[in-house]
Amino acid sequence: MQYIDAFNHFFPKALWERIQRLDGAGKDIGKRMQGIPCIFDLETRFRVMDEFANYRQILSLGMPPLEAMGTGEVSTELARLGNDGLAELVRDHPDRFAGFVAALPMNAPEAAAREAERAFTELGANGLQIHSNINGAPLDEERFFQIFEVAAKHRKPMLLHPSRGANMPDYLTETKSKYEIWWTFGWPYETSAAMARLVFSGFMDRLPDLKIVAHHMGAMVPFFEGRVGPGWDQLGKRTSDEDLTLVLKSLKKRPLDYFKDFYADTAVFGSRAATLCGLEFYGADRVLFASDSPFDPEKGPGYIRDTLKILNGLDLSQGDMEKICFRNAATLFGLGDLH
């Protein structure tokens, strides 16, 4: 069996060094990331990967989003550094890295669209990474549509990564989130909310070729299929200050069907229950193997090993295993026919 890890994170050297000189979110990256050599040190990365046979990665940058690290000018510089570095890694180590997804300066939408075009046409990017909000703004604001258009035109996927910090409180009476609830429960909510905004805004109707991978097995959506399905079939029943039934009438199909159009990955931190739930909802044709390495307690191999153990322990046909482990990734990212 081959394995293509569709969602994991790494910082190329030039970008990593530039980030260390930033203030704000860039400076804050140090506390966690400096303690995870696998996210910036290539030799450490290779040692982790050597633990697994027939294993390659699709690279993407780690958190925080580039737009959180500075002005549009700064984030545009960071995007070029990051994308050039990722492209170089793929060129130099094709046996390790099957491809990469480009990062964008989303706080400068026009520059982001240009960088996406450059990444596809000049660097050979296999997709784009976006986050569930842009410094607090929703993805379905019209200024961001041009970026989705570039992805759809090139028929390459957008990988949706959650983003939320402790500054978003759990309760209105408080000023910050406690106990890292903002991450444990907040990130799945963020992803799910972003998916919903893309559905109900009509973005997916306007761009029928758009392909989006919702990180962490589609977040809350599979478990809440009943709410997403029969629940949202009744959109407007709980709202009196506007007629939301008009939204349903404007869509080409029922909400649940759009949510089934997303792709999902197996990065669920070693949860067999979540894996089964997501596979039941999306089916083997729309699930990609991914680990979210190197953010496990072992700082690299743990989530890869746990995820592979779960997949290999499921009662799946050889064909479905191949789809999940590498064929879906090959098709979605345009990697060619893998054997």
Query: pLDDT value at position 20?
Result: 84
Query: Which residues are registered as beta bridge partners of 288?
Result: 265
Query: pLDDT value at position 199?
Result: 98
Residue 151 and residue 127 in contact, taking contact as beta carbons nearer than 8 Å? yes
Q: pLDDT-based confidence at 22, cuts 50/70/90? A: confident
CA atoms of 11 and 182, how far apart (whole Å): 24
63 token code pair:
């958190």
Query: Which residues are registered as beta bridge partners of 4?
Result: 56
Out of 15-29, 40-54, 161-175, 212-226, pick the least confident: 15-29
Residues 6+ apart with CB under 8 A from 279: 287, 314
Q: pLDDT-based confidence at 337, cuts 50/70/90? A: confident
pLDDT at 179 > cutoff 70: yes
Beta strands in 29-153, from DSSP E residues, in sequence order? 55-60, 97-100, 102-103, 128-131, 133-134, 137-138
pLDDT at 262 > cutoff 60: yes
| Domains of the chain, residue spans | 3-333
CA atoms of 245 and 170, how far apart (whole Å): 30
What mean pLDDT comes out for the span 266-284? 98
188 token code pair:
């799945």
pLDDT at 25 > cutoff 60: no
Residues 6+ apart with CB under 8 A from 176: 166, 167, 169
Residue 186 and residue 157 in contact, taking contact as beta carbons nearer than 8 Å? no
CA atoms of 283 and 289, how far apart (whole Å): 13
CA nearest neighbour of 119 among 104, 108, 97: 104
What mean pLDDT comes out for the span 5-32? 82
What is the percentage of the chain residues whose pLDDT exceeds 70? 97
pLDDT at 322 > cutoff 70: yes
Out of 26-30, 154-158, 176-180, 286-290, pick the least confident: 26-30
296 token code pair:
């496990």
Q: pLDDT-based confidence at 28, cuts 50/70/90? A: low
Helix-, strand-, coil-residue percentages of the chain, each rounded to 5: 50, 10, 40
Host H or E run for residue 47:
helix 42-49
CA atoms of 306 and 228, how far apart (whole Å): 29
The mean predicted confidence, pLDDT, of the chain is 95
CA nearest neighbour of 335 among 258, 188, 325: 325
Q: pLDDT-based confidence at 29, cuts 50/70/90? A: low
Query: Which residues are registered as beta bridge partners of 95?
Result: none
Query: Which residues are registered as beta bridge partners of 3?
Result: 55
| Interhelix angle 109-121/145-154, nearest 10 degrees | 10
Q: pLDDT-based confidence at 33, cuts 50/70/90? A: confident
Query: pLDDT value at position 171?
Result: 97
Q: pLDDT-based confidence at 198, cuts 50/70/90? A: very high
CA atoms of 36 and 286, how far apart (whole Å): 31
CATH superfamily of 3-333: Metal-dependent hydrolases (3.20.20.140)
Query: pLDDT value at position 31?
Result: 61
Host H or E run for residue 212:
strand 212-214
